[in-house]
Chains A and B, each alone.
Chain A
Amino acid sequence: MTPKSENGFCDDKNFSEFFRNHSKLLNNYIFYKCGNIDLANDITQDAFIKFWNNCKKVIPNKAKSFLFTIANNLFLNEYAKSKVVLNYRIIPKLNHTNESPEFLLEEKEFGDKLQKALANLSEPQRIAFLMNRIDGKKYKEIAEILDISIKAVEKRIHNALLNLRKEIDHI
């Protein structure tokens, strides 16, 4: 993560490496926020361009949270401007096992319920939870990216699970 050359993130190689390490996560982060694939893609692009334009100002160990802050601001601007319709949707992986039809149906039903419950989570809870579940990020890393404490990440994930369970069991 720490740039190797004197130029920091202005160096082409360092920037490319930084991009390869974090672009997918950033894209997912915006996607978790709004559920809009195209918007997530656009904002990821713009955020990295902005990041590069400001590469001289970036402090290496704050780079990640700086990037996510840029993206968040871009999202807020865009959202405020166009009032993007939240179309939250995560694609469940297809089960290609030889399970029984009943089991598959049950799985599908559960998947739908989970989908709805995820959409109903508060944004911070959803982001923290999905970063951990889908992107496999450790609490510490999530805390760093979102610029919050580990305790706060735990709280969000704890409440996310609690709310998901309540919603699924009550449907």
Chain B
Amino acid sequence: MKDNYFLAKWLNGEITEDELLKHVSEEELRTYKKIVSTTKNLKTPNFNTEENLEKIKATKVKSKVKKLSLFKYPFRIAAMLAVLISSYYFITNKTTSYTSNLAEKTTFELPDNSKVELNADSEITFKAKNWKNARELNLKGEAFFSVKKGSKFTVNTTLGAVSVLGTKFNVVVRDTYFEVNCYEGLVSVQYNNEVIKVPLGSSFKVLNATSEFSDSNTETKPSWLQNNSSFKSMPYKYVIKELERQFNITIVYDLKNENTLFTGNFTHTNLEMALKAISIPLNLEFKIISNQKVSLY
């Protein structure tokens, strides 16, 4: 029979020796009996029940104390929280920055897909983690923004703050010169505790602490995006500085001209053309001394 475990049954006293002999030989039976009698006398390692029970109870008590001790020491919890909180702030307060070098322009997107184009030698910093709650960034230099519609978008500069809800605008901050140009929608500029609304086609300009509002702008984009810098009644020193930034050069010129007002434009692609554009109106000549140096006289 397939499922007849006669040996197990015999061992358990369910069948007799005679019945078992139907399945096994006498010889085999003798071995089985010997196995059974010998295994009965086998000994396993000593196990001290009480001692082990005490050990377990001791670990149980210990683990209880451990749990309590955490709450006994408020300093530990305070330290833990301090680490958590400071790491949280570290993460959320981490600032992201984008910079453009001399003679270089950069384009990038903000976390909400708003587009920023940075003119040469400019920098933007913001908190990426907190962007959803506050669309706010700091600007040094010049940048053109195409802002996606949404919550208030603020550009902080050393001279004033510009806030919008979603438009295209350009902001420049260089030394004491601050200008905001609006190319779409409406921009509000906060300057000296005053709020100035700058609508489409208008600009707000601050130069040496005197502000000026104009609404004669017909361009759809700032000229520098087309590799061209244009100026309207700008002191000559700002024009020179912009040229230095765009070509990464140093210009030596007569300082008596630094406040002369200049109107005109220069290209960013050809140094000689650009130098001609700024020297001819003032009856000056230029000389390229080296890769890095130009003299105007």
Contacts and interface: CB of A to CB of B under 8 A. Distances in A.
Q: Do A and B come from one complex?
A: yes
Interface stretch (A1-9, A79-87, A153-161): A153-161
A4 to B, nearest CB: 18
Contacts of A134: 39-40, 42-44
Interface in A19-58: 19-20, 23-24, 27-28, 31, 37, 40-41, 44-45, 48-49, 52
B43 A90 contact: yes
A93 B42 contact: yes
16 contacts: A19-B53, A19-B56, A27-B44, A28-B44, A31-B44, A31-B45, A48-B52, A48-B56, A49-B60, A111-B38, A133-B40, A134-B44, A154-B8, A155-B8, A162-B7, A165-B32
Interface string B18-59: 000000000010011011101111111101010011011001
Interface of A: 16, 19-20, 23-24, 27-28, 31, 37, 40-41, 44-45, 48-49, 52, 90-93, 110-111, 114, 129-130, 132-134, 138-139, 151, 153-155, 157-158, 161-162, 164-165, 168-169
Interface residues of chain B: helix, strand, loop or mixed (majority): helix
A161 B12 CA distance: 12
Contact of B9 (A20, A28, A130, A154): A154
Contacts of B49: 19-20, 23-24
Interface of B: 3, 5-9, 11-12, 28, 31-32, 34-36, 38-45, 47, 49, 52-53, 55-56, 59-60
Contacts of A90: 42-44
Contact of B53 (A23, A28, A138): A23
A162 B11 CA distance: 12
A44 B47 CA distance: 10
Contacts of A48: 52, 56
Closest 7 CB pairs of A and B: A158-B5, A154-B8, A133-B39, A154-B5, A158-B8, A157-B8, A161-B7
Contact of A110 (B6, B9, B38): B38
A45 B12 CA distance: 32
